[in-house]
């Protein structure tokens, strides 16, 4: 293996970290809008998908406890993100944001301390407008967004020990120039605090091509950027560009984008619906096969894995799916390259090249019935060993790969040179 050195260059709008091989040619390029914050896709939990505005201090603390006791923290899930509806409807007399006193009576700094004491990291939500999304749509009181208050809000977040900011545009229409100005203002404010805070933006609120935020890259602005409208716990809805999306809808639209992402700037196809009860919103929820598909395909995209289920009632099966070590190793691969559909397979085979020379392969069956998917692996290189990630098996690889994949399911494989040599 070639020795590499690290070079840090300041370029317009961001820091550019390049790992240089001995030859001096860049091998990989890491863009980090907030240096040091998200070298691999963030893993964590967010309150929105299950609880919407029904959040409070004890819910978040119990979730944190469950993250530890369920083994999720030790598997790598560390960010606990408090989404919309934590904020009071008025700022303090000196202009700072403050927590809703009924929902979070001990305040957000105390909540951050609670999380940090358990080896977890603290995430919070705001919007680059006058109102947060729930405030905009009238489901939560007040107009306490961060637009025009970037510096003071970033300082407040840093002071509270915040490690992750979800910053949500929450509107289908906007001029991209206006969006850039607003998102960059918060990026600069976060940077100036000196605290590494993962910067997660949603410039889209709609699907690719239909909304202004999807044109152009946010690589120099944020650590990750939403590429879809809001996910719901369903397979495929096939609705308009500004409507909710099921996970198959998202795979279709995100497949077009993966190559724009990776290496410190992560594609955000929205949060996980694995184990989320769809009933209150009249969605079906994901089956086990569909849950495997969401995790497999998000791992292939090098996407953040932000669980959205109620951890206090999580089934053993959901826990096993979320903490599958082989799936997480693919998602978190240090080379940070994204996967993509293999040409000629109509999206049923995805490949992702990994740091140790191995390759991850997903056999994705979007059909309503079972289907045989096959592949000549010599198209991808010389490999002697195949790991079946969900089955937890490893065997010698010879000839064609061929699998019967159930409807809506995904089989995930990792090919390495030799089963004796591979440690994964």
Closest approach of ligand GLA to the CB of residue 308, in Å = 9
The yes-or-no answer on residue 396 being catalytic is no
Q: Are strands 164-168 and 121-126 parallel, antiparallel or unpaired?
A: parallel
In angstroms, the CA 44 to CA 306 distance is: 5
- Contacts with ligand GLA by CB under 6 A lie at 48, 83-84, 133-134, 168, 170, 202, 230
If DSSP codes are grouped into helix, strand and coil, which group holds residue 113? helix
Are 167 and 201 spatial neighbours (Cβ–Cβ below 8 Å)?
yes
In angstroms, the CA 60 to CA 55 distance is: 7
Structure tokens at 66: 């469950």
In angstroms, the CA 372 to CA 404 distance is: 4
Q: Exposed, middle or buried by CB within 10 Å (0-12, 13-18, 19+), for 9?
A: exposed
Q: Closest by alpha carbon to 340, among 355, 362, 325?
A: 362
Q: Which of 132/318 has CB closer to ligand GLA?
A: 132
Structure tokens at 64: 């944190």
- β-pair partners for 322: none
Are 244 and 278 spatial neighbours (Cβ–Cβ below 8 Å)?
no
Closest approach of ligand GLA to the CB of residue 268, in Å = 10
Q: Closest by alpha carbon to 56, among 98, 89, 114, 102?
A: 102
Q: Identify the active-site residue in 84, 230, 270, 310.
A: 230
What helix, strand, coil percent values describe the chain, rounded to 5? Answer: 25, 25, 50
Q: Identify the active-site residue in 83, 153, 168, 331.
A: 168
Q: Which of 134/211 has CB closer to ligand GLA?
A: 134
In angstroms, the CA 248 to CA 297 distance is: 10
Q: What angle do CA 176, 180, 184 make, to 5 degrees?
A: 170
Closest approach of ligand GLA to the CB of residue 170, in Å = 5
The yes-or-no answer on residue 418 being catalytic is no
Q: Which of 272/389 has CB closer to ligand GLA?
A: 272
Closest approach of ligand GLA to the CB of residue 201, in Å = 11
Structure tokens at 309: 């289920």
Q: Which of 124/154 has CB closer to ligand GLA?
A: 124
Q: Which of 47/348 has CB closer to ligand GLA?
A: 47
Q: Which of 15/271 has CB closer to ligand GLA?
A: 271
Angle between helices 288-300 and 247-254 in degrees, nearest 10:
20
Q: Which of 232/302 has CB closer to ligand GLA?
A: 232
- β-pair partners for 374: 402
- 376 vs 29, 383, 387, CA distance in Å? 31, 11, 16
Which residues are designated catalytic? 168, 230
């Amino acid at each position: 293996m070639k020795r590499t050195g690290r070079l840090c260059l300041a370029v317009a709008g961001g820091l550019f970290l390049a790992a240089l091989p001995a030859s001096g040619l860049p091998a990989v390029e890491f863009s980090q809008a907030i240096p040091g914050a998200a070298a691999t896709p963030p893993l964590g939990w967010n309150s929105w998908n299950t609880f919407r505005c029904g959040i409070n201090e004890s819910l978040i603390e119990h979730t944190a406890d469950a993250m530890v006791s369920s083994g999720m923290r030790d598997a790598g899930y560390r960010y606990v993100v408090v989404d919309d509806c934590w904020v009071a409807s008025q700022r303090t007399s000196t202009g700072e944001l403050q927590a809703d006193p009924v929902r979070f009576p001990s305040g957000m700094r105390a909540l951050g301390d609670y999380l940090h004491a358990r080896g977890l990291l603290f995430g919070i939500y705001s919007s680059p407008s006058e109102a947060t999304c729930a405030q905009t749509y009238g489901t939560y009181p007040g107009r306490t967004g961060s637009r025009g208050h970037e510096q003071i809000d970033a300082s407040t977040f840093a002071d509270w020990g915040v490690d992750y900011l979800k910053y949500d545009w929450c509107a289908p229409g906007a001029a991209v120039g206006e969006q850039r100005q607003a998102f960059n203002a918060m990026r600069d404010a976060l940077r100036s605090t000196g605290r590494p805070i993962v910067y997660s933006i949603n410039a889209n609120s709609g699907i690719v091509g239909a909304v202004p935020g999807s044109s152009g890259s946010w690589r120099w602005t944020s650590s990750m950027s939403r590429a879809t409208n809001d996910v719901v716990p369903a397979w495929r809805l096939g609705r308009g560009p500004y409507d909710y999306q099921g996970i198959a809808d998202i795979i279709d639209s995100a497949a077009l984008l993966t190559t724009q992402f990776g290496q410190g700037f992560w594609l955000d196809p929205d949060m996980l619906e694995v184990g989320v009860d769809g009933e209150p919103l009249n969605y079906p929820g994901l089956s086990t096969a569909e849950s495997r598909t969401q995790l497999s395909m998000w791992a292939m995209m090098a996407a953040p894995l932000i669980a959205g289920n109620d951890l206090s009632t999580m089934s053993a099966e959901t826990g096993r799916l979320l903490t599958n070590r082989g799936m997480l190793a693919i998602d978190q691969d240090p080379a940070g390259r994204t996967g993509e559909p293999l040409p000629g397979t109509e999206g049923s085979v995805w490949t992702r090249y990994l740091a140790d020379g191995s390759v991850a392969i997903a056999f994705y069956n979007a059909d309503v019935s079972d289907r045989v998917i096959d592949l000549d692996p010599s198209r991808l290189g010389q490999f002697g060993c195949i790991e079946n990630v969900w089955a937890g098996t490893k065997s010698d690889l010879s000839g064609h790969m061929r699998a019967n994949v159930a409807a809506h399911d995904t089989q995930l494989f990792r090919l390495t040179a030799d089963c004796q040599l591979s440690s994964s």
